[in-house]
Amino acid sequence: MNPQAATPLPCWFRTIAFLEGLSFVLLLFVAMPVKYGLDNPEPVRVVGMAHGILFLLFVGAVVEQMLSQQRGMRWGIAAFIASLLPFGTFVFVARHGRILAR
C-alpha cells in the first residue's frame, strides 16, 4: 500500500481544493461564455480574481502537505496537474481518501 494514500487529507485541504475546482469550473463554463456570448467581461474579472487567489492557496496547501506529511514529489506534481484540468481537483481529492477532521 502506498504510504501517501494511508495518510488522509485534512478537511481544510479538501475545502481549498473544492473551492479552487469550483471557481475554475465557474470561470470556464459560466463567466467565459457570458464574456464572449453576452459581451459582458465583468463576471470574468470577479470569478477570475477569486480563482487566482484560490489557485495560489491550493498550491500553498499542496506544498504544505508535501512538507508536513512527507508526501512525495509525484503526489505534488499530480495535485498541480489536477488543478490545471476542469474537475481535476475533485477527482484528485476523491482519489486520495477519507477526511481527516483537523
What is the residue extent of each domain of the chain?
A: 9-97
Distance CA 35, CA 8 (A): 39
Q: Burial, 6: exposed, middle or buried (Cβ in 10 Å; 0-12, 13-18, 19+)?
A: exposed
Q: Taking the model in full, what pTM does it have?
A: 0.85
In the chain, % helix, strand, coil (3-state, to 5) comes to 75, 5, 20
Q: Over range 74-87, report the average pLDDT.
A: 94
* DSSP structural state of residue 9: E
The pLDDT tens digits for 4-53 are: 455 778 889 999 999 999 999 999 999 999 999 999 999 999 999 999 99
